[in-house]
Structure 1
Amino acid sequence: MGLKTLLIAAAAASVAIAASVEEQLAKRGNLPTPVSASTARTYLNSITVQAESNSPAYDRDLFNHWITISGACNTRETVLKRDGSNVQTDSACASTSGSWYSDYDGATWTAASDVDIDHIVPLKEAWVSGARNWDNARRQQFANDLTRPQLLAVTDNVNQAKGDMDPAEWLPSRTAYHCTYIRA
């Protein structure tokens, strides 16, 4: 293969990857539209800052996550199908093949077991920021929200390292994704 052919193939692959990433972002729901600086200042001035509270103590089970979405598919399997490419599932909706690109670190995985579904706003962060005052139905909706880009298929150990940290404490290692992550 000549250098020219190799360069053309590499360029075509880059365009295909970029189109695939844009397609995946579109499937996840719309990111909030940035507001003007004056509107942002108005919003910020209307916020009452309070200390986070973990009273009563956070309990992940109070968020009832990974509920059945359709047929045998729970929230996790639905996100795996949405965020993956060429995902095949068995009769129980478990992913048997496919590939997943992690926006957090740029890694691609071919085993669903290597992928976690991340809550961009961690459930504990939501709890200490006020979700402790929500009823069970609202917490369940938040934990399984497919209408916003709140749930993402990402590299499992990266998600586990993030834990319950918010954007002030943790950002993805892939700097090209920082703005998208913060907007989401």
Structure 2
Amino acid sequence: MSGAETTAAGPATPGPAGAAELRSLLLSRIHDVPDYPQPGVMFKDITPLLADPVAFGALTEALAALCHTHRADKVIGLEARGFILAAPVAVRAGVGFVPVRKAGKLPGTTLRQAYELEYGTAEIEMHADALRPGERVLVIDDVLATGGTAEASLHLIRRSGAQVAGVAVLLELGFLAGRQRLQASLDGAPLEALTTV
């Protein structure tokens, strides 16, 4: 990828020119789908990006670089598209991958966290032994919208005794104010959005 280098410690974070080039590439592969899943909603479809090996590779490298920058020991992928992004990032960065799923999808003993939706509540969970005390954990997802799922995952990380290294997303929907919602829960940890609309 132009604008970024790989070092002995792992992939380097793109510089200003490389970051602008990366944003342009990623945004060009995210398609708008009007009125999905309901009228009035503009859905951001990342499947064209995933189908492009150059764009998907550049995204993986950039997120892996953030793992190194924030000294993450593990990454959490949020169901479901977060799994698609976080798993290759974990392999590239040489760290562990932990899935955070909707309640009732994981076998064995789990930690569960409820969070509020626009109408009602939902719950996510992860295996109770997935994280060790003191490990640094980076949360990865495709889109930051209202921030409810990401916020709940931060609570799960802290309940396990691990530390929040940060949150990294492909796309932040700035108009939904998810960043503001997450500020208190981040407690100084960074929120990294590779693109914002």
TM-score, length-normalised on structure 1? 0.25
Considering fraction of residues, name the structure with more strand.
Answer: 2
Instruction: Return the index of the structure with the highest Cα Rg.
Output: 1
Greater RCO (CA < 8 Å, at least 6 residues apart): 1
TM (normalized to structure 2)?
A: 0.23
